[in-house]
Structure 1
Amino acid sequence: MALWTWGANSHGQLGVGIANEQIEKPTKVEVHLYHCKINQIACGGGHTLLLDNEGKLYACGWNSKLQLARETEVHKLERTWPLSGVTFTNIVCGWDFSCGVTDDQFLIVWGSNSYGQLGVPTTPKEYFSEIMKPIRLPINAVLVSMGLRHTAIVNSKGEVWTTGCGRHGQLGLGNSVLSSDRFQKVEGVGKISHIACGQNHTVAWCSEERALYVWGDNKHGQLLLCSEKYKKIYTPNKIDIDVKQEVKKLLSGWTNVILWLEDGSLLAWGRNNNGQLGTDKLSHQEHSHISSFQVKGREVKDVAVGSEHTICLATDNTLWAWGWNEHFNTAIDLGHQIVKPTLVPLEIDKNQKITQIYAGGAQNFVVIEE
């Protein structure tokens, strides 16, 4: 198993041992996992978490708010010893905060809590810090997503609970709750099966109803509503997008959303100023309608979304990317915006197989197996 990376690296978040502006070409990462395999990677604004198949945690990158759950910033993926007694099943990063779901489905949170995004009280100030070391919350979490300043979880009942900044309506708790420092239940949604936080919005999918629920900032049409009429939505709106099949993934960038469907197609909407929607042309108009597309006629095997770019693995073992490219987020040397799915120049042998892909912020990771 080999790990490759590229993109922004100003805090050493790529784990290659240095901090620099960017790594332009896919580069191999040396990481010592003590005979374990990579189970999952999560990317924040400038930090990276890695989970091995035994539930052990590793981290590197930006650590100004202790989002690595360690005292010092490191530029290689190193074991997070303060959490060595915990077995994680899922890890998630926000901008400068992080969390992990434990094997008994409880939530451990750490990093910035300046907006209450960890679900930990922010007052009184003499007792509670804006920077939190890991703390275990008595909260059942099956799904977790983190945005710029807010967090959403789905529990085993399919209920949604949110915490953090709600100025744009991203908490879905109504226009009288513009911030929260504890998880509160979002009313008016069905049994949720997928959830994703954007920069200042939240989207959720209910498989039973085959319906999308949206709330928060809609300035760029990311909620599929007319942005001139509906700039912010403070409570969940149910939208029928006429999808009659299973949803494999619901993903959100800062201001765009992607649905990956069972038939391998991708639905995208929201902002397209950097080619985030993969629609062959840039647009500075807001997209409050759905674009449906496939990746060069190929079947999608997996897809991952950063803040304003997307990487996609096809079933023929090729990797494609589009969107924001200022820090070589796509590894494609064709300018600052890649407007349509374009082949990533990943030099691998025929006997090597891409098995996992991850993106977040402006960084990317792919796992390759012989």
Structure 2
Amino acid sequence: MWCWGANSHGQLGINVTSEQVEKPIKVARECDCATKKIACGGGHSLLLDTDGKLFSCGWNSRKQLGYEKESSTFQRVWPLSGINFTNIACGWDFSCGVTDDNFLFVWGSNSHGQLGLPKNHFPEEVNPTRLHVNACSVSMGLRHTAILNSKGEVWITGCGRHGQLGLGHDVLQSDRFKRVPSLTNISHVACGQNHTVAWSNEEKALYVWGDNRHQQLLLMTDKYKHIFKPEKIDIDVKQNVRKLISGWTHFLLWLQDGSLLTWGKNNCGQLGNTNYHSGKIFNVTLPGNRIVEDIAIGSEHTLCLADDNTLWAWGWNEHANTGTDIKENYVYVPSRVVLEEPTKILKIYAGGAHNFIITDASIKYANNPPESNEKN
């Protein structure tokens, strides 16, 4: 496991706190099982291993680690031992895990009801608590949470001041999960800073709601500054989506044919180009016509794995978020991230201003991956 980026709270798990780690370095872990998934919050990280056990490190101001003290190394979340988790997610200062029977555990900040727990009965900082809701997948934003259940329904909770709950002008906050009534057959859902998006593979349709001040919802801001109920947007995509992911104010749509669409705010180069028109969809292409193998997104930066095992990044770089050789605060086009020990990259993760990748040390490359010199 390798990491880089912001580390002011020890969120990289390398047993030290620092402003940033500029280049990918190894993370030492004492664990018998391989890593299944990592989720990154504003200043904390969760790790799920292949046995379903949870670990966490970093910022713990709101108990978002699931235990009492802050840690700069990945520590077992013992209050949740004995529970088999299959998925995890992080918000700014709150966290959750989905169990193998599709129950949802939540912990951390509940300041705006983003954990779906009644504020009259729970404190603003919550220890791990199980909810009686069905959750197949979950996404967390700055102060709201959306879950997708087995019926393809979207349920949502938290702050809705910008319309990000999608429940209308009259529901600007909720401390219980409520169904977004107009949505069915949804396959993907993603929360941004103050907005939410959903995609239906069955309909080949995009739905958007919440803050639109940067035209991140693809509607004109003079008429639609905030959208309080889901709007169906025709983006002329006639295929299934592999991933729909959101940063603070921009999106990435990774399509079945491997193409990558992006739109939203572009002040930091988070769209992978120098165009500042935020109401337009762009097609991101990697140098040498490489094919996208996987994609991950932070608050304002992107990490991308190509099919030739090369790693690329772009966007906000103030805390060395991208891990590239570029020293400026913004990286406007996909730029190479180089590992000291070229090995097979298995998985990539990003969030906030930090990143993790998982590699297979048994598969090594002498210098560069096959054919990478011809494509650079």
| TM tier relative to shorter chain | over 0.9
Mapped to 2, the partners of 1:257 and 1:57 lie a distance apart of 28
How far residue 282 of structure 1 moved from its aligned partner, in angstroms, is 5.4
Secondary structure at 2:79 match in 1:
helix
Paired AA for residue 8 in structure 1: A
Q: CA shift at 1:32, angstroms?
A: 1.1
Which runs of 5 or more structure 1 residues have no equivalent in the other structure? none
Aligned match of 1:44: 41
**Partner residue of 1:209?**
203
Give the Cα–Cα distance (whole angstroms) in 1 for the partners of residues 173 and 103 of structure 2: 23
Separation in 2 of the partners of 1:275 and 1:261? 21
Q: Could you say which residue in structure 2 is the equivalent of 1:273?
A: 267
Alignment correspondent of 2:335: 342
Take 1:305 and 1:128, find their aligned partners in 2: how far apart are those partners? 32
Matches of 1:128 and 1:364, distance apart in 2: 32
Partner of 2:27: 29
Correspondences of 1:1-370 after superposition (within 5 Å): 3-33=1-31, 35-123=32-120, 127-279=121-273, 281=274, 283=276, 285=277, 287-296=278-287, 297-334=289-326, 335-349=328-342, 352-369=343-360, 370=362
Higher mean C-alpha displacement, 249-258 vs 340-349: 340-349
Q: 2:117, 2:20 → 1: CA distance?
A: 34
Q: Which moved more, 1:326-335 or 1:40-49?
A: 326-335
Q: Distance in 2 between matches of 1:337 and 1:53?
A: 36
CA deviations on 1:289-348 (whole Å, 9 max, x unpaired) are: 211122111100000000000000001000000000000000123210000000112223
Q: How many residues align?
A: 359
Deviations 1:50-77 (A, max 9, x none): 0000100000000010000001000001
- Paired with 1:7 and 1:304, the residues of 2 have a C-alpha distance of 14
2: CA distance between counterparts of 1:79 and 1:118? 21
Deviating above 2 A after TM superposition, structure 1's stretches of 4 or more consecutive aligned residues are none
Tell me, yes or no, if the aligned pair for 1:264 and 1:294 is still in contact at 8 Å. Answer: no
For 1:82, what is the secondary structure of its paired residue?
A: helix
Find the residue that maps to 2:95 and give its secondary structure: strand
Check conservation: 1:259, 1:268, Cα contact below 8 A.
yes
Q: SS of the residue aligned with 1:226?
A: coil
Give TM-score, length-normalised by structure 2.
Answer: 0.94
TM-score (norm 1): 0.96
TM-superposed deviation, 1:184: 0.4
Report the CA distance between 1:128 and its aligned residue: 2.2
SS in 2 for 1:101: strand
Deviation at 1:228, TM superposition (A): 2.3
Cα distance between partner residues in 2 of 1:293 and 1:361: 21
